[in-house]
Amino acid sequence: MVDTESEAAHAATKSSTPVAASGDLAVSTRKDATTATNNQNTRKIIRKKRRPARPQVDPATFKTEPPPQTGVTFNIWYNKWSGGDRESSQASQSPAKGRCNIARDSGYTLADNVSGSYFCLFFARGLCPKGSDCPYLHRLPMITDIFNPNIDCFGRDKFSDYRDDMGGVGSFLRPNRTVYVGRIHVSDDIEEVVARHFAEWGQVERIRVLNTRGVAFITYTNEANAQFAKEAMAHQSLDHDEVLNVRWATVDPNPMAQAREARRVEEQAAAAIRAVLPPEYVAELEGRDPDARKRRRIEGGFGLQGYDAPDSVWYAQARRGKKDGNPTAIEYAASSEEASLSQAADASSGPVDGDSGTGILSSATLAALDKRRGTANGLVFKPKSETKAVGALVDYDSDSSDGS
Map residue 107 onto helix, strand or coil.
strand
Residue 280 has a pLDDT of 74
Identify the band that residue 59 occupies on the pLDDT scale cut at 50, 70 and 90. confident
For residue 38, is pLDDT > 90?
no
Alpha carbon 181 to chain centroid, angstroms: 30
Is the separation of the CB atoms in 323 and 289 below 8 Å?
no
Mean pLDDT (whole number) for 273-282: 77
Identify the band that residue 269 occupies on the pLDDT scale cut at 50, 70 and 90. confident
| Range ranked top by mean pLDDT from 15-19, 230-234, 335-339 | 230-234
Q: Return the number of other C-beta atoms located less than 10 Å from residue 151's C-beta.
A: 14
Q: Return the number of other C-beta atoms located less than 10 Å from residue 291's C-beta.
A: 8
| Percent of the chain whose predicted confidence (pLDDT) is above 70 | 59
The string of pLDDT tens digits covering residues 169-192 is: 999 998 899 999 999 999 999 999
Q: Return the number of other C-beta atoms located less than 10 Å from residue 354's C-beta.
A: 7
Mean pLDDT (whole number) for 262-274: 83
Residue 22 has a pLDDT of 42
For residue 57, is pLDDT > 80?
yes
Q: Return the number of other C-beta atoms located less than 10 Å from residue 107's C-beta.
A: 16
- Mean pLDDT in the chain? 74
Q: What is the model's pTM?
A: 0.57
Alpha-carbon separation of residue 178 from 116, 120, 218, 253 (angstroms): 24, 21, 5, 14
Q: Which domains does the chain have, with CATH numbers?
A: 59-139 (no CATH), 157-267 (3.30.70.330), 290-324 (no CATH)
Burial class (CB in 10 A: 0-12, 13-18, 19+), 187: middle
Identify the band that residue 151 occupies on the pLDDT scale cut at 50, 70 and 90. very high
Identify the band that residue 48 occupies on the pLDDT scale cut at 50, 70 and 90. low
Question: Looking at 61-75, 226-240, 266-280, 311-325, which range is the least confident one?
Answer: 311-325
Return d(Cα 148, Cα 120) in angstroms, integer: 17
Question: Looking at 135-149, 234-248, 284-298, 350-364, which range is the least confident one?
Answer: 350-364
The string of pLDDT tens digits covering residues 156-166 is: 999 999 988 89
For residue 248, is pLDDT > 90?
yes
Identify the band that residue 19 occupies on the pLDDT scale cut at 50, 70 and 90. very low
DSSP conformation letters of 121-137: HHHHHT--S-GGG-SSB
